[in-house]
A and B are shown apart, each in its own frame.
Chain A
C-alpha cells in the first residue's frame, strides 16, 4: 500500500472544505463544507493509523525503549471525531433554523451582528420598517449612528425603541 495516496486525498479534501467555507454564502452549504474538512481529518487519522511515518520510512518507532505504541489509536480518535461532528451538525442546524425563523434568510452575508435590542438580547429580530421613525428620532448619538446608518432600513440602535 502506498500511503501517499490517501494522504494526498485527505489534503485535497481539506483544501476543498476550506474553499467551500470561504466561498459559500448559504449557511447550510457552509456546514456541508465543514463536514468535508472533518472528513479529511478523519481520513488522515485512519491513514496515519495504518501507515505511520516511521514504518513507511523504515525507521525504528519513536518513544522510549520497550514502550509499545498503542494500537488503533487513530481509529479510536476517528470515532470520537465522528461523534463530535454529529453533535456539531445538530447544534449548527438548530442555529441555522432559528436564524431562518428570525431573519427569513440563511445567507450569512446578511447576518448583522449589531442588530440587537435591549430586552431580547443577541437573538433579536431586525426591527420592522414601521419602527424606523422611532429609531431615527430617538436614535443614538452621532458617533454610533455612523456604522449602522447605511446598512438597512429599520436598524434599531442599542438605545433606540421607546415603543418596546
Chain B
C-alpha cells in the first residue's frame, strides 16, 4: 500500500458513503449537499489518478454548475423543508437491482484486476490533454458544442410560456 493507495481508499470511502447518503437521506437539500461531497471526493480521485484537468473541470462544472442547478430546482419546486416521508417508494426491487449491479460489477472488476500493481503515468496536464483533444478528437468536440447549443435552446423552448397554448 503506497500513499496513493491510502489516499484513494480514503477518498473512495468518502465518495461511496456520501453517495449512499444522497440516495437514502430524507432531506432534499441535504441530498444536494451530500452530492457536493461525493463529487468532490471523485474529483480528488481524479487528482490522484493524474487526471488534473478533469479534476478541475469536475469541480467547476459538477460542483459549481450542476449542483447549483439541482438546488435551484429543489427551491423552485417548493420542496418540503425538513424531513419528508414520501420521497421513496418501497425499495426491495430497487435494492435488489442496484445492489446486484454494483456488487456484480465490483466482483467482475476485482476478478479482472486482483491485487495487481501499476505505476502511475506522468501527470496529464492541460497541455497534453488539449493536444490530444485537438489532434484526435476534433470532430466529437465540435459535435458536442452543437449538442450543448441545442440543449440550451431546447431548455429555453421547454420553459417558455407560449401565449396561444391553452393551459
Contacts and interface: CB of A to CB of B under 8 A. Distances in A.
A138 interface: no
B112 interface: yes
Contacts of B69: 89-90, 93
Interface stretch (A36-44, A129-137, A150-158): A36-44
Contacts of B86: 25, 107
B83 interface: no
Interface string A83-98: 1111111110111111
Contact of B61 (A4, A36, A82, A93): A82
Counting contact residues on chain B (CB < 8 A from A), the size range is 35 or more
Nearest to B60: A82
Contacts of B136: 70, 73, 76
B45 to A, nearest CB: 6
Contact of B70 (A23, A28, A51): A28
Contacts of A28: 28, 70, 73-74, 77, 79
Given A8-B106, A16-B20, 4 more contacts: A7-B110, A9-B8, A15-B98, A23-B98
Interface of A: 1-9, 11-20, 22-26, 28-29, 31-33, 35-36, 39, 42-43, 46-47, 49-51, 53, 55-57, 70-73, 75-76, 78-80, 82-91, 93-98, 100, 102, 106-107, 109, 119-120, 125, 164
Interface of B: 1-2, 4-5, 8-9, 11-12, 15-16, 19-20, 22-23, 28, 31-32, 35, 38-39, 42, 45-46, 48-51, 53-54, 57-58, 61-62, 65-66, 69-70, 72-74, 76-79, 86-89, 91, 93-95, 97-103, 105-106, 108-110, 112-121, 124, 128-129, 132-133, 136-137, 140-141, 144, 147-148, 151-152, 154-156, 158-159, 165-167
